[in-house]
Structure 1
């Protein structure tokens, strides 16, 4: 990597992080001197952020072929006998990282060519509210944007800090570059990363076990969805739920042994060739010494921001995982665009634009797929909000018949009139695509009647399950209103 050490130490804008923060750099601010500071991602200290190098993009390039590997099971449901001849794990790795590594390298090269930009590599720490140190350099800036992302949380149990045993322990930032497909893989955690990687490695041939301290998997989701995913994954891999990890030891036969304990104090041991820790992520604000700039982290380690994405120091902004508990790339991208618009508005003396993050969707690329937006039924119950609910099975529409699908559904939550969506949750094939008209309805404040009845829905496409779910909510609301 190169370092433009000849550039001036004072800049108009300093950006910390090379993920979504890169969206700020374009021709609109060519008249600004910019410093970009990046510490790299993963075992190769890759440039370009988590999503490109160790997150969304490479994991989907793994999950797509993994889903193909399940084709014989799905085909058998419609009387087709298929077989998988094999999976070339090395070829998948080469195709994935051949593309992402090239994008990282070319993106960096293009940035270095910009005359108004200096790229600095290393850990950034604040000296004061206008000064950032990286290595032996100090950069002063009129404006600073913190886009430093997050990092995998480490398991704090005996053995996980042992240098020898660490060779068997991976995180989401390293597991996809493992030298050989592990025969026995233990995944610690029950969230999104855990179920996505469980799908990938189980489909590719590993004997996968998930160990989670709670039940069901994906417990932050609507419980109907979480339970369905847990039931389906239990058919493909081993689930050890309601167990906490208490240690990691070497195995005389090679590999490692993970020790756990359940709620009754009973201890268990599990052998593995590799252990993947998916126990959450930590925002990187704690590594930046933001207190030196007059910024305090909240109780969960996030940098607080206002409706414009400014921190408590008006010329310092933040975006992405470092300030957003959702930790979603599409949210970080939207925040980067908003910060960019607000930087330009501030320069021009125009009013700043406020963010609207009420209805941010999420997708989970396991098998089955999951997508959700808005409130869960449990959240509505806890907050005392009145609602109506309707569940539409894939099996109720023609394309669902063609698929012979008996497991999957769309669940909608609406206000008592049935006209305004409060939450939407889908589990099943193409869930991350089917959710989009519902995301649009919520963000644009469209009524359910308008969305369901104001357009043509292709017959017999799978999207009819969404149409019928919307009509079902209207019907349930009308029935409940008539019963009053």
Structure 2
């Protein structure tokens, strides 16, 4: 399987090879300082998607967009505001003036900061189970390999990436903000950038072939669509069938026979794992239908259903959750198990759950677990309670008439099966519910067993829990 490459090029041998400088970059530690380690990464920026083009910089754009939007909407609170001057260029330079030095210093440290670590800034592919070949022909071998190669944005055939058709990788590094932007997609990336661009003053049209947030609670999805439509145009049930570019920008022909004219297009129709670029099938690894590498509960890569000795995978390339907090937990498990192999100790299972899912858009969303329909389909005798923000004193302060929290609860046990929140600070309000579910606490006593600051936003959660207890007692 190794072919002629290894016969003509002598192999470089390591104890551990880590592919990917995102969450995998956190694995080297003093406990593993005795290992000869290679970190392999071919990313445009060092440090992974979250740092350079994802979670962190997007939130640094979300914040000023929210400030502008709040001022524009302040009239409903009796506050009059004049014209606002928001500079895309100033915000961009502030964000990447902080992000890029972190990325560069991280790369410099891995390049020369530790005698046991070598940095390989090349594309690689598997040429055997424990062997990689770089684009320049170097052959790297190790008894232990961690695959953290991440994922990449999907491209549309009708709109290939270019200067004015871009993915989230370039969406924040634009030289200037186009006046008219089409955002294609119906998930978290599309929703966040639609809110960012519209907050900065662009005319945004969001296109998606199905309803937005199709996998979430129906009321959450409908409320988001209604609220989002106040700030940007949302057109669902359509696809781009043809695209033409001229002096005035893009003309997009849609499947409903309509057309729109825009200056630029953000394509955010999902991400695909980079397993194909690493040629992981050449190593015989098992894969899911979508290309993700299959792993067991210890993050060990599988081949023919059995773990491959010394080979682990983490993050987007193996996980069904394309989330940084999940990739970080995967990395912690892998780091623990690498150390366990060195010490001939038992491996650690990745049992952490449930997984919170958050959207920093306008409005915000925070979700974990099952909807009522999903819980009942799974055989649970479950019910649902809803607490509107407007039913609390903080909701009055916000003049909020649409945001809410839903809890899905198992009737017999009081177990929290899911929580679904849309509105200001939804990701923060979700956390006490995630904590309760993670540690096996039921809804019994959660509301009255502790103080809730009045009139804080957390009373939304308190009241939802009280409703759940009342429902159980009926």
TM-score for both structures, normalised by structure 2? 0.94
- Please name the residue that 1:178 is paired with: 174
- 2:55 pairs with 1:87: no
- Please name the residue that 2:120 is paired with: 120
- 2:255 pairs with 1:255: no
The structure-2 alpha-carbon separation of the partners of 1:390 and 1:368, relative to structure 1 and needing over 3 Å to count, comes to same
Preserved contact between residue 384 and residue 409 of structure 2 (Cα < 8 Å) = yes
Identify which of 20, 24, 28 aligns with 1:25: 28
- 2:316 pairs with 1:315: no
- 2:71 pairs with 1:77: no
The structure-2 alpha-carbon separation of the partners of 1:350 and 1:453, relative to structure 1 and needing over 3 Å to count, comes to farther
Preserved contact between residue 72 and residue 84 of structure 1 (Cα < 8 Å) = no
Matches of 2:110 and 2:296 in 1, distance apart?
30
Preserved contact between residue 418 and residue 474 of structure 1 (Cα < 8 Å) = no
How far 1:98 sits from its partner (Å)?
A: 0.8
RMSD over aligned CA atoms reads 1.5
- 2:208 pairs with 1:212: yes
- Please name the residue that 1:4 is paired with: none
3-state SS in 2 of match to 1:356: coil
Moved over 6 A (4+): none
How far 1:418 sits from its partner (Å)?
A: 6.2
- Please name the residue that 1:482 is paired with: none
Structure 2 gaps, min length 5: 1-9, 303-307
Identify which of 295, 304, 321 aligns with 1:305: 295
- Please name the residue that 2:96 is paired with: 97
Preserved contact between residue 388 and residue 418 of structure 1 (Cα < 8 Å) = no
Matches of 1:476 and 1:123 in 2, distance apart?
57
Matches of 2:122 and 2:185 in 1, distance apart?
30
- 2:419 pairs with 1:429: no
Structure 1 gaps, min length 5: 1-6, 480-484
How far 1:156 sits from its partner (Å)?
A: 2.0
- Please name the residue that 2:225 is paired with: 230
How far 1:358 sits from its partner (Å)?
A: 4.0
Residues 431-453 of structure 1, C-alpha deviation per residue, up to 9 Å, x if partnerless? 11111000001111012124222
Figure out how many residues of one structure are paired with residues of the other and give that number: 458
Matches of 2:83 and 2:273 in 1, distance apart?
41
Residues 80-107 of structure 1, C-alpha deviation per residue, up to 9 Å, x if partnerless? 1123421011010001111110000111
- 2:322 pairs with 1:349: no
Matches of 1:393 and 1:76 in 2, distance apart?
22
Preserved contact between residue 356 and residue 434 of structure 2 (Cα < 8 Å) = yes
Which structure 2 residues correspond to residues 40-439 of structure 1 after superposition, within 5 A? 40=43, 45-112=44-111, 113-134=113-134, 135-157=136-158, 160-161=159-160, 166-215=162-211, 217-251=212-246, 253-262=247-256, 267-312=257-302, 313-417=308-412, 419-439=414-434
Matches of 1:271 and 1:14 in 2, distance apart?
48
Deviates more, 1:108-117 or 1:45-54: 108-117
- 2:15 pairs with 1:15: no
Preserved contact between residue 11 and residue 141 of structure 2 (Cα < 8 Å) = no
Preserved contact between residue 273 and residue 292 of structure 2 (Cα < 8 Å) = yes
Residues 24-83 of structure 1, C-alpha deviation per residue, up to 9 Å, x if partnerless? 01211110000010011xxxx111100000000111110110000112244222211123
3-state SS in 2 of match to 1:140: strand
Matches of 1:226 and 1:458 in 2, distance apart?
30
3-state SS in 1 of match to 2:175: coil
Deviates more, 1:77-86 or 1:9-18: 77-86
How far 1:167 sits from its partner (Å)?
A: 2.3
Identify which of 18, 35, 39 aligns with 2:38: 35
How far 1:385 sits from its partner (Å)?
A: 2.6
How far 1:350 sits from its partner (Å)?
A: 1.5
Residues 341-398 of structure 1, C-alpha deviation per residue, up to 9 Å, x if partnerless? 1111122122111112441001100011100011122322433432011000111111
3-state SS in 2 of match to 1:462: coil
Preserved contact between residue 12 and residue 141 of structure 2 (Cα < 8 Å) = yes
How far 1:301 sits from its partner (Å)?
A: 0.7
